[in-house]
Amino acid sequence: MTTNLLDPNRLFPAEPSAREITRGLYDGIKDLPIISPHGHTDPSWFSGNKCFTDATSLLLIPDHYLFRMLYSQGITMESLGIPRDDGGWVETDMRKIWHVLAANYHLYRGTPSSIWMDHVFYEVFGLTERFSTTSADFFYDRITADLQTDAYRPRALLDRFNIELIATTEGAVDELPHHRALAGTPWARRVITTFRPDDAADPEREDFKDNVFRMGEMTGEDAGHWEGYLAALRARRATFRELGATATDHGHPTAATADLSRAECMALFSRCLAGNASAADAELFRAQILTEMAGMSLEDGMVMQIHPGARRNINAQVFTKFGRDKGADVPSATNYLDGLQPLLNKYGNEPALKIILFTLDETTYSRELAPLAGHYPCLKLGPPWWFHDSPEGMLRIRQQTTETAGFYNTVGFNDDTRAFLSIPARHDVARRMDCRFLATLVAEGRLRLSEAEELSHDLTYNLAKRGYNL
């Protein structure tokens, strides 16, 4: 359902001829299935298929894009119902929290969050008035009531959103109960997992040692020494593959890689496991793990995703109270050229290896990332990620990388979100912006219309399937 509250030509060029070309390209791809190969939705939603409880619990509390903005304006996390790690008081009146969002909805003007939330309100729930303090109760009651119906159960929404495949992301010591529950059903082919070993690969995590030994227990390997640790990682990768995984995911502070000798690895691992590692040791260990993971990807065929450059949990008080992933993260400068060199020297010329690079440091697009992906057979560029998942961010990466890396050294779009109901909105934005970019090339005589039509299908659907071995 399209309402007049969503401009059908939103994000298209203002110039009439380019807008007409964009509209034609978009009409040709807007209904293609969604491939969501990199995300963070809760797999229990799809295994249990239970109704979501209410508007606030689904749309606000899990979405750090939303509560991060509210927190920046002095609204406490407790008043927004964000759970505290220490079990301290937080607001539990979901309607009251919803009114806080409504009273401050103007804060999202001009941001991607506004585009996504409006799409959810007007397209997913068919609401036909503006969200405000006046309409807040009506919105809350309507959304919450709809969520209790079968049409809004998670699996029904997968069908309605035309999501052909969605990947969740689980850690090295996750038991994967929800993916196991789906195993042997048709849903197992649509909801797959992704292996993210950071919890057992980052010595600076407070639970690193416990996770290493837990991984050993889960696999029957002696993870207390280097060779056993690597064997445990291989075993966990195999388990993830059995449950549908085609990719790994690595969220490191930098893009550093290393190629140490076996003796150096053993000594470094011993220091990390004993808790005697310096910050430099921890960085070197993470660097070595990326190279080890690349070697394992050559063995088992899993696609490797590297997304460095996030300074995470920088607000110490928020981290202490609320834990990880609560919006206190900031992009940082990232050196890909020097960082990746040890890994690329060892594996970069292997066409059987697939490494997808993401960035939060846009200054590297034309200087480092596009030239690297435009040369090394193993490298592909991921889409605009996290802070740059926006119309402007999507244009910037196309403008700065296409001339060097082309379109076919990219892997389409992924939504990278916990906010399930916003997935169609995010993919719609990406489709509109890709069509806009292609239309500009056609209008300037740099691309034939038939080529743009083929590219629009590839960027929307084919490159994601190919890039993630789906």
pLDDT digits (tens, 9 = 90+) for 211-248: 999 999 999 999 999 999 999 999 999 999 999 999 99
Cite the beta strand spans of 102-253 per DSSP E: 163-167, 170-171, 191-192, 195-196, 247-250
Mean pLDDT for the stretch of residues 158-170: 98
For the entire predicted model, the pTM comes to 0.96
Domains of the chain: 16-50+159-467 (3.20.20.140), 52-152 (1.10.2020.10)
Round the average pLDDT of the chain to a whole number and report it. Answer: 96
Q: Encode pLDDT of 187-216 as tens digits.
A: 999 999 999 999 999 999 999 999 999 999
Q: Rounded to whole angstroms, how far apart are CA atoms 338 and 356?
A: 17
Q: Rounded to whole angstroms, how far apart are CA atoms 51 and 147?
A: 6
Q: Rounded to whole angstroms, how far apart are CA atoms 17 and 133?
A: 40
β-strands 355-357, 330-331 pairing: unpaired
The pLDDT score that the predictor gives to residue 101 is 98
b/e code 103-114 from CB counts within 10 Å (16+ = b):
eebebbeeebbe
Mean pLDDT for the stretch of residues 66-90: 96
pLDDT at residue 1 tops 60: no
Question: What's the full length of the chain, in residues?
Answer: 470
* pLDDT band, very low/low/confident/very high, at 328 (cuts 50, 70, 90): confident
Q: Rounded to whole angstroms, how far apart are CA atoms 125 and 128?
A: 9
Mean pLDDT for the stretch of residues 250-255: 96
The pLDDT score that the predictor gives to residue 327 is 80
pLDDT at residue 307 tops 90: yes
pLDDT at residue 5 tops 90: no
Q: Rounded to whole angstroms, how far apart are CA atoms 160 and 149?
A: 14
pLDDT at residue 2 tops 50: no
The pLDDT score that the predictor gives to residue 102 is 98
pLDDT at residue 289 tops 50: yes
* pLDDT band, very low/low/confident/very high, at 4 (cuts 50, 70, 90): low
Percent of the chain exceeding pLDDT 90 equals: 97
Q: Encode pLDDT of 367-405 as tens digits.
A: 999 999 999 999 999 999 999 999 999 999 999 999 999
pLDDT at residue 3 tops 70: no
Mean pLDDT for the stretch of residues 128-145: 97
Q: Rounded to whole angstroms, how far apart are CA atoms 421 and 108?
A: 18
pLDDT at residue 98 tops 70: yes
